[in-house]
Amino acid sequence: MTNLSNPPTIRSAGTFSLGEFTVNRLGYGAMQLAGPGVFGPPRDPAAALAVLREVVASGVNHIDTSDFYGPHITNELIREALHPYPASLVIVTKVGAVRGTDGSWNPAQRPEELTQAVHDNLRHLGMDALHVVNLRVMGEGHGPSEADISEQFAALAELQQQGLIRHLGLSNVTARQVEEAQAIAPVVCVQNEYNLAHRGDDALIDLLAAQNIAYVPFFPLGGFSPLQSTALSTVAERLGATPMQVALAWLLHRSPNILLIPGTSSVAHLRENLATAELTLPDDALADLNRIAQDAASSD
């Protein structure tokens, strides 16, 4: 398997911009550091802190988080493990939801709720200004809806004008909503569901690439329904890699504006994910992988 004895050189995957910041294309998503169901504290807080410290030691300079992970848990862990933060580290958070006492995910989209969320993120992360804040639009399940987002995005743009946010992004949105937000303030990244089998955003990725805007796929490995494909497993075996490494490598190959934030609560799994930077996919492997989405579509 692609698991190097030394820490992987993640810079092999290249870099891309998030506004004024330049980040390595292989980053880290902190969601899995919270307890089961992304709710409550982790089973092993010391292990969670060790993962975060290994993230930075491995050269990752892009961490994705949110104050509704836990809630508050991942941000508090990030602060405990890494504050004061390295100058090169970019922390991206998102607002637009709150957690119920039962662990439910509930919309929190009113301007006053978004303002409160920004202040909560600032406090729990120990920051004077958030590097990037994504407006997480609540749609149907994990997919977007065509709701108007101008009021919400304008509220965040006002906080940006106040100096509390450096850059703005979007999550779980359509191309029309991206255009709607751009009429209010610049957008530096879009975070939507996208992976080998779920390729509905192909046109949006290309549109954003032409504008030098980052695209950050969530559920790059399938999320709550992990990717399962005979073709993926066969390619991985042929390349001496894990299926998840191949799936991540395909995303890196798909477009230079794609930034990856695979999450894990294990140092060993983190290193395995980061080793993807050194995995090259030959043309025949790419052809086999590109057929996965076609097979998924035909089976629907």
Catalytic residues, which ones?
Answer: 69
Please, are residues 123 and 164 in contact by the beta-carbon 8 Å criterion? no
What SS3 state is found at 60? Answer: coil
CB-facing half-sphere around the CA of 289: CA atoms within 13 A: 27
Is beta strand 105-107 parallel, antiparallel or unpaired with respect to 97-99? antiparallel
- The span from the CA of 204 to the CA of 208, in Å, is 6
Q: What is the dihedral of CA 154, 155, 158, 159, to 10 degrees?
A: -140
Number of Cβ within 10 Å of residue 291's Cβ equals 13
The residue type found at 71 is P
DSSP 108: -
Number of Cβ within 10 Å of residue 200's Cβ equals 14
- Scored b (16 or more CB within 10 A) or e, 219-230 reads bbbbeeeebebe
- The span from the CA of 259 to the CA of 249, in Å, is 11
Please, are residues 29 and 268 in contact by the beta-carbon 8 Å criterion? no
The residue to which tokens 């992988």 are assigned: 289
The residue type found at 12 is S
The residue type found at 98 is V
- Scored b (16 or more CB within 10 A) or e, 43-54 reads eeeeebbbbbeb
